[in-house]
Amino acid sequence: MRYFIELAYKGKNYFGWQRQPNQISVQEVIEEKLSVLLRGKIDIVGAGRTDTGVHAKQMYAHFDFEGVIEFEKFIFKLNSFLPKDISINKIFGVTNDAHTRFDATSRAYEYHISLGKNPFLIDSTFQIFHELDVDKMNEAAKLMYDYTNFKCFSKSKTDVRTYNCDVMNAIWVKKENNLIFYVKADRFLRNMVRAIVGTLLEVGKGIKTIEDFRKVLESKDRRKAGTSVPAQGLYLAEIIYPYI
């Protein structure tokens, strides 16, 4: 039988989601604890990847296990085994052909910025000390609705078949001394959100104009875009499935 896991994690102590040699990952930690509790090797498949230091408010993964799981008791046990920076929120059965990666219809990310120095947010936000024109940043962000090819924001060495993405929402929201960028799309390219944010910050600082941002989109050239912002401000916020 196939099971879905809904989880959350703080990425500071991990070299991303995906298991890799000689580095600790979120996937590896969960697989090891599941294998102990279910008394057999368990492999999990995530809905996507997050890079080193990136957080997830909502991530899904699936695994196969030929047995019945008492969900409430099992979640309690699994959370007891896991480190404090990984939380299992739900486990539920699905059809055997359900897939956390391929069945997702959209994903959303948030990027959190602290406007000024805050020692309590140093591991969870990017701290900025410049004045930003948020209205211009939002104007520029809306331009992404007019485009589908986002090669300009993709990591250069990548094996993707297409750079096309359908951006459904992109907006900056200011809450007191915090600034949050919310972006939703059917799929994302490697490093895409951090590159978008870095480029929009250049608009907010007056380094680039809104027209410059359009030229970046049309260029399909990563070298024309801004520097990628640090990982600690990025959160995978939501994954949508047609049957959940």
| Catalytic residue positions, numbered | 51
User: Using an 8 Å Cβ cutoff, are 45 and 60 in contact?
Assistant: no
Query: Beta 55-64 vs 126-128: how paired, if at all?
Result: unpaired
Q: What is the largest CA-CA distance in the chain?
A: 59
Rounded CA-CA distance 1/42 in Å is 13
Residue 149's nearest CA partner among 209, 218, 210 is: 218
Rounded to the nearest 10 degrees, what angle do helices 210-219 and 134-142 cross at? 30
* Angle 159-161-163 from CA coordinates, rounded to 5°: 95
* Burial letters 114-130, b for 16+ CB under 10 A, else e: bbeeeeebeebbbbbee
Q: How far apart are CA 166 and CA 182, in angstroms?
A: 15
Q: Which of 189, 229, 180 is nearest to 57 (CA)?
A: 180
